[in-house]
Amino acid sequence: MKVVWSENAKQDLLNYKQNSKIISSNKINSYINNLIEYVDSLNTFYELGKFLFNKNGYIIRQLIYNNHKIFYAIKENTVYILLVSHTSRNPQEIIKVINSYLK
């Protein structure tokens, strides 16, 4: 499977990095790199995350990494990383982002 990161997911990681000023930049960079490696393992283990629902031919799943939820969609031979959400993020906002991507 091919793993494709959406612009939303990339921006989520950048926002987390910029808003985590209390933690040292080395720790933040290490955390983000480890998260990316974990998510990139979906190219082989694409069913690793919890199944959520089907929509418009996409299978939507959720993967948890420490304090982040990674929402992704599978269609054909591609895993689309839709967003990377801190656990404190509003669930309604998450649903809105997922639905906008799957139109």
For residue 72, the domain's CATH number is 3.30.2310.20
pTM for the full predicted model: 0.91
- Surface-to-core class of residue 33, CB atoms within 10 Å of its CB (0-12 exposed, 13-18 middle, 19+ buried): exposed
| Token pair recorded at residue 45 | 């283990």
Of residues 97 and 45, which shows the higher confidence score? 45
53 to 3, 50, 71, 78, 99: CA distances (angstroms): 19, 10, 11, 17, 12
| Token pair recorded at residue 86 | 């801190």
Length of the chain equals 103
The pLDDT tens digits for 57-73 are: 999 999 999 999 999 99
Q: Print the domain residue range for 89.
A: 2-101
d(CA 42, CA 3): 7
Q: What total number of domains does the chain contain?
A: 1
